[in-house]
């Protein structure tokens, strides 16, 4: 059995290339890695919200084996008085753990740390495109019944992926209390279109 200690921390400059490789290895392709590199150049990128899982396998040397990124994005909607408003929320993308460390709780530690950090920084919500079985255990719920629609298409090769779009409200009644009635569009930066 593999024995290791996991440390969850914000990314450091030395981690950037390693994170790219971790994401590529986790997804088996480079689309998500390229997205990470592009999002690092986005004006809203915050290193505090780019979080890594580092293991020490009794070698006295750290190894980055997982990563999660939260990026501030805009929710545009009408308030109770039907006045246009913009709310800054967070997008979770990508979450990655290299295959040899998957199913060991590292992804969950990254998600929980990112939720804690988002609350500390006073963000009202996080959205994610992902698997229901995975994200629902953290408290994410479908965004679609609340009329919260992303700025990108919710179809993949003509097949609907609506059931994979989720939101977690971090401040009670900050988003979902009026969303059902008024809905809103979650605007993603152009970097998401380029991969």
Mean pLDDT of the chain: 91
Residue 9 has pLDDT above 70, yes or no: yes
Contact (CB, 8 A) for 39 and 84: no
**Highest mean pLDDT out of 64-73, 159-168, 179-188:** 64-73
What pLDDT is recorded for position 83?
86
| pLDDT, mean of residues 161-166 | 90
- pLDDT digits 0-9 by tens, 44-99: 999 999 999 999 876 667 899 999 999 999 999 887 778 888 999 999 999 999 99
User: HEC states along 85-131?
Assistant: EEEEEEEEEEEEECHHHCCCCHHHHHHHHHHHHHHHCCCCEEEEECC
Query: Which residue in 143, 147, 141 sits closest to 183, CA to CA?
Result: 147
Both tokens of 139, joined, read 């408290």
What pLDDT is recorded for position 1?
42
| pLDDT, mean of residues 129-136 | 95
| 79 or 23, greater pLDDT | 23
Residue 2 has pLDDT above 70, yes or no: no
What pLDDT is recorded for position 4?
81
């Amino acid at each position: 059995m593999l024995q290791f200690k996991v440390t969850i921390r914000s990314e450091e400059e030395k981690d950037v290339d390693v994170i790219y490789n971790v994401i590529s290895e986790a997804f088996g392709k480079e689309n998500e890695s390229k997205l990470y590199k592009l999002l690092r150049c986005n004006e809203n990128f915050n290193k505090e919200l780019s979080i890594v899982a580092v293991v020490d396998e009794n070698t006295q040397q750290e190894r980055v084996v997982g990563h999660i990124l939260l990026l501030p994005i805009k929710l545009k909607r009408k308030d109770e008085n039907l006045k246009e408003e913009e709310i800054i929320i967070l997008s979770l993308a990508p979450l990655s753990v290299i295959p040899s460390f998957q199913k060991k709780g590292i992804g969950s530690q990254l998600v929980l740390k990112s939720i804690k950090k988002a609350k500390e920084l006073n963000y009202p919500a996080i959205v994610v495109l992902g698997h229901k079985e995975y994200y629902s255990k953290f408290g994410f719920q479908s965004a679609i019944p609340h009329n919260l629609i992303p700025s990108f298409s919710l179809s993949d090769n003509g097949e609907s992926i609506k059931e994979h779009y989720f939101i977690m409200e971090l401040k009670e009644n900050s988003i979902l209390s009026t969303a059902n009635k008024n809905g809103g569009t979650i605007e993603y930066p152009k970097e998401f279109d380029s991969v």
